[in-house]
């Protein structure tokens, strides 16, 4: 074959190779990859992948889920409570109609109360929760948290079980 005949074929193949390398992932592919990293406990890569998903698909079908998952990774696995709050706040601000908003609002109150010990902000978010999500399944938890704000839960459990023990001892 002459050079003039092989040149167009080589150009087409090179172009296809470049296109294949430059194809971006679908939103679903990002989500599955991030979940895979989570399952492998590779949390830094999971967050990085969720962020890439959000960069490429900021209004995508799974954008709110990506933010929620990143928030929970920061809370449960990395223990960066301020970052967890930031991501939950981002979810509320950017995706106000998301099914995850009520849980995000609860988690912000919970983190402020139990991890960051900022009881005023915890109270603010819990009260917003009550106002905006009065029928939510977490409403009783929010009310309990407000009632016990600033108290050591472990002491309350000890008191609860200690009182039971004292009552049992009194009946002997």
pLDDT over threshold 50, residue 167 = no
Q: 45-66: per-residue pLDDT in tens? A: 999 999 999 999 999 999 999 9
**16-30, 109-123, 136-150: which has the minimum mean pLDDT?**
16-30
pLDDT over threshold 70, residue 172 = no
The more confidently predicted of residues 145 and 6 is: 145
> Average of pLDDT values for 83-91?
98
Which residues lie closer than 8 Å to 73 by C-beta, 6 or more apart?
Answer: 38, 43, 46, 47
> Average of pLDDT values for 122-134?
98
Model's pTM, two decimal places? Answer: 0.77
Q: Which domains, and CATH codes, for the chain?
A: 23-171 (1.25.40.10)
pLDDT over threshold 80, residue 22 = no
Give the sign of the dihedral formed by CA 41, CA 45, CA 48, CA 52. negative
pLDDT over threshold 90, residue 98 = yes
CA distance 87 to 100: 12
Helix axes 27-39, 63-72, angle to 10 degrees: 20
Q: For 114, what's the count of Cα atoms within 13 Å in the CB-facing half-sphere?
A: 16
Residue 166's pLDDT band, with cuts at 50, 70 and 90, is very low
CB contact at 8 A, 90 and 108 = no
Which residues lie closer than 8 Å to 129 by C-beta, 6 or more apart?
Answer: 102, 105, 106, 109, 136, 138, 139, 142
> Average of pLDDT values for 98-105?
98
């Amino acid at each position: 074959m002459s050079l003039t005949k092989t040149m167009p074929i080589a150009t087409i193949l090179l172009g296809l190779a470049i296109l294949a390398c430059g194809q971006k992932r679908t939103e679903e592919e990002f989500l599955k990859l991030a979940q895979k990293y989570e399952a492998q406990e590779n949390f830094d890569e999971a967050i990085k992948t969720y962020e890439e998903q959000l960069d490429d698909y900021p209004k995508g079908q799974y954008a709110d889920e990506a933010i929620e998952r990143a928030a929970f990774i920061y809370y449960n696995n990395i223990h960066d409570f301020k970052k967890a709050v930031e991501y939950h706040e981002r979810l509320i601000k950017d995706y106000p109609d998301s099914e995850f908003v009520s849980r995000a609002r609860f988690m912000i109150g919970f983190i402020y109360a139990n991890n960051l010990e900022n009881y005023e902000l915890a109270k603010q978010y819990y009260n917003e929760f009550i106002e905006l999500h009065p029928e939510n399944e977490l409403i009783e938890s929010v009310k309990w948290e407000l009632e016990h704000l600033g108290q050591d839960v472990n002491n309350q459990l000890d008191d609860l079980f200690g009182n039971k023990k004292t009552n049992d001892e009194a009946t002997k």
